[in-house]
Amino acid sequence: MFNTLRTFTLLAAMTALFMGAGYLVGGATGVVIALGLAAAMNLFSYWNADKIVLRMYNAREVNAESAPQFYRLVEQLAENAQLPMPRVYVIDTDLPNAFATGRNPDNAAVAATLGLLKRLNQQEIAAVMAHELAHVKNRDTLTMTVTATIAGAISMLANFAMFAGMFGGNRDNPLGGLGTLLVALLAPVAAMLVQTAISRTREYAADKAGAEICGQPMWLASALTKIERLAHEAEYQPAEKNPATAHMFIINPLSGKSVGALFSTHPTTQDRVQRLEQLAQAWGKTGGTPTQPAARPWG
């Protein structure tokens, strides 16, 4: 309950930030425009953000015929989690990673890269997809996609403020050139901070719930360690071009060279692994076949 309240509070802060930036750029008129845009973006994101994100990463949908082993693994994990079967996607990159999206469990999608499917073992893949299904079960996917949309819009507003400043600013700007400068420089930073807080809150919860779905915390600990080591072998250009979506992945896909990467959207992998090790000790599970609390072994 606390995490849910905190997440909605942070989303409200993101919307308020967008409106405040609108005020600094265009005064009262800017607030009205920003409020209208925020409402429109939230509505648009609710229905379409999953499609936009999947298109950004050229994800292709697979089924029981085109990817039988992977599809059936997700199917069994969804059954363990007592979730409807999500749509399943594969992304053509050798860098291992995964994310979930969708406005609710009935309209969810999970995506994994080919690198994840090729470079992790079956247990690690199961744990990663269980983590993504945990985001679906916790209804994080809508929060994360709406956050990405608003963060992207704030960045666009900052670019507009910079452009307006170059040509004399806006007469409705209550602070003149200073307001334009504040929006251009500080609004994207503030958006990243709020986005980071939202993501970190949800990742810990999804790690724990994912371990419950697959039944083995150490499988996820092993997967996180391996992905962290392999995911940054090269720059992943779709992520670098769309840094506002980085928080959706199980491990931050950014190389660390961009400005957006200065604000880590994830807890440290070391901290996440430590928490999973503590969970495994509490369950008396350090390896082997999952028995608790998954409905049945994933197979």
Q: Is residue 293 domain-resident? A: no
Indicate the residue type of 49: A
Residue 166: the pLDDT is 46
CA distance 200 to 29: 35
According to DSSP, the residues that pair with 108 across neighbouring strands are 102
Task: For the chain, give the mean pLDDT.
Answer: 79
Helix (H, G, I), strand (E, B) or coil at 62: strand
- Is 132 tagged catalytic? yes
Residue 192's CB: how many other CB atoms inside 10 A? 24
Lowest model confidence (mean pLDDT) among 10-19, 164-173, 216-225: 164-173
Residue 294: the pLDDT is 40
- In terms of pLDDT, which residue wins out, 266 or 154? 266
Residue 128: the pLDDT is 98
Q: Is residue 297 domain-resident? A: no
What average pLDDT score do residues 89-114 get?
95
Domain of 69? Answer: 2-283
pLDDT above 60 (res 287): no
Q: Is residue 294 domain-resident? A: no
What average pLDDT score do residues 53-68 get?
96
Q: Is residue 174 domain-resident? A: yes
The residue from 132, 203, 212, 228 that is catalytic is 132
Q: Is residue 201 domain-resident? A: yes
Q: Is residue 291 domain-resident? A: no
Residue 84: the pLDDT is 97
pTM over 0.75: yes
CA distance 295 to 81: 8
Tally of domains in the chain: 1
pLDDT tens digits, 229-264 = 998 888 999 988 887 788 889 999 987 655 444 456
